Amino acid sequence: MSEGLSFTLTEEQEVFRRTIRQLVEDKIAPRAAEIDEADEYPWDIDEVLVSNGFAGVSYPEEYGGAGGGAVELCLLVEEISRWSAGVSLIPAVNKLGAIPVLLGGSDEQKRLVCEGITNGEHRMSYCLTEPGSGSDAGAMRSRAVKDRDHWILNGSKRFITGAGATDLYTYFAVTDPEAPKGRNITAFLVSSDMEGFSLGRKEDKMGIRGSPTREVILENVAVPHSNVIGEVNGGFGLAMRTLDFSRPTVAAQALGIAQGAFDYAVAYCSERKQFGAPISSFQGMQFMFADMAMKIETARLSVYRAAKAIDDGDSQVSYWAAIAKCWASDVAMSVTTDCVQALGGYGYIREYPVERFMRDAKITQIYEGTNQIQRVVIARKIFGRA
Active-site residue set:
368
Helix ranges, 70-224 (H): 70-81, 85-104, 107-118
Phi-psi region of 32 (alpha: psi -120 to 50; beta: other; left: phi over 0): alpha
Tally of CB atoms within 10 A around 132: 11
d(CA 253, CA 75): 9
Nearest by Cα to 339 from 281, 267, 255: 267
Q: For residues 212 and 199, is the Cβ–Cβ distance under 8 A?
A: no
**Cα Rg for the chain, rounded, in angstroms?**
21
Sequence-separated (6 or more) residues with CB below 8 Å from residue 277? none
Q: For residues 236 and 185, is the Cβ–Cβ distance under 8 A?
A: yes
Q: Tell me the sheet residues that pair with 202.
A: 214
d(CA 288, CA 339): 9
Tally of CB atoms within 10 A around 100: 28
Q: For residues 53 and 9, is the Cβ–Cβ distance under 8 A?
A: no
Nearest by Cα to 111 from 73, 65, 180, 72: 65
Between strands 197-202 and 185-191, the pairing is unpaired
